Structure 1
Amino acid sequence: MNLLHTVLPAILLSTLPATTAFAETSPQSEVITTADIDWGYLNPLRGDKSPGAANLWGDRTQNVPTGMLVKFNKGFSSPPHIHNITYRGVVIEGKMHNDDPDAATMWMPTGSFWTQPAGENHITAANGEDNLIFLEIDSGPYLVKPSSEQFDNGERPINLHQSNLVWLDQTDTKSINGNNAEITALWGSNKVGELGGAMIKLPANFSGTLTSDAEEFRAIVIKGSLNYQSVETPNSKGLTAGSYFGSNGKFSHNVTTSAQGTMVYIRTNGKYQVAEK
């Protein structure tokens, strides 16, 4: 698929957690700061030997789309295993490796993206002092199974190092209307009603809006921080890496960045635009 066409999906992550569904008759939004996050374990039976996990929306134990944070201790390395469903991952902090058990190690830093197909045998390892990723599934539950149950579902894995992302600016796409703001497509479709994922990069001291008209719009702060406001959040909130905001229907999210700029992952099934004030 042409990268420019793929890039046009919405910029803000739509749909909100299953725990607080949007009303069907009017736009709604949700904001979750890192202070709001309730941590548990990815595999509760293993206790503190398991990676930490926290749902941002949905429920990883049920058959629903879910977005979650997962954190790993330095030196973590899983045994070879498979999952029953496909997932996507974005590195927020640290260095992550995810590949076939015999593959050479490639440590992926902040902003890197990968997909893990259902049934594909692999290992996951972490090598930063602190390691945090965003992980999303389109259906569930999210389960870990032994390699002996591996199968080929027809998909192929992607490991996209942050240095290999291809960024487009306002001269390349109508989704961007702001000097030095950029976007890169990661997966999916740009057609209204079909899901797609992208990353946007907002420059230092950016002040503007992320406007969406989507049934589902979700955004995760991946790098840096921003101040957030909307008609439903009139008091500014500081969102650091790992924070989340989303909406459905026609909605505008007002954001300003710090001196270091910000990277945001977007999941949506509608159109969107990044506009500088």
Structure 2
Amino acid sequence: MMKLHAAPLTALSFSCLFVLLLSILTVGFDDRLQADDPPLSLLKTALQQEQKPEEMKSLRVRAGAPFKIALFADLHFGENAWTDWGPQQDVNSVKVMSSVLDDESPDFVIYLGDVITANNIPIANASLYWDEAISPTRARGIPWASIFGNHDDAPFEWPLAWFSSPGIPPIHCPAPNASSCSGERYCSFGGTRRIELMKKEIENNLLTLSKTGPKDLWPSISNYVLQLSSSDDPESPVLFMYFFDSGGGSYPEVISNAQAEWFQHVSEEINPDSRY
């Protein structure tokens, strides 16, 4: 058994890295194929239009079919939002995600953090960009879940070049020896907090399975577990998916001891025999 140490586990920073990761994870199960199973498109339509919100927070394997999960990471919507280049990259990302979803028809989508580049978004409500990033999945009636990365609620960074010498606003600026990834100095401005982004996603989307996580772990928000159930019995799990908020942005980039203890407690409670 792994011992928990006093020092937190520090997550790697990718503040200077722009990556779009697209991968498909397929999980196969032995459920027997039933001839009267409805097509996947009909199942998704029913999920989107007919189920009650409290019924949406579960996933079930379709009988006789593999369960596909699409992973989208480091989409960075809102990157260089004030330029022509930035918005065009968002358009391109929507096209790529749409192609992946149409070609693979996944049962579930996971957004693996850095959905937006909050430090480049010059508006108070960054959830507008978040909503754009999840729009291809929502439009196809596919359920999804999301976690946070180090850019999702980072304070907005004002390039000093935007301001004339007498016009620099009276806000806090870094020390003279501080610099960004590009070597330019910036001033800072607070953006949309993690909890606000997550609450907006949950309140405005029936198909999301994202959660705000235990309050005793806040400001680390996206810590939760999702259960994938058998096609025969919604109470019979075949897989547990654990989601962790690795920090960054508004607070340090860490997986803390508290998160590790939470994982240990939850896993022992819901999966005591380590069967899944």
TM-score normalised per structure 2 = 0.25
Bigger strand share: 1
Choose 1 or 2 for highest CA Rg.
Answer: 2
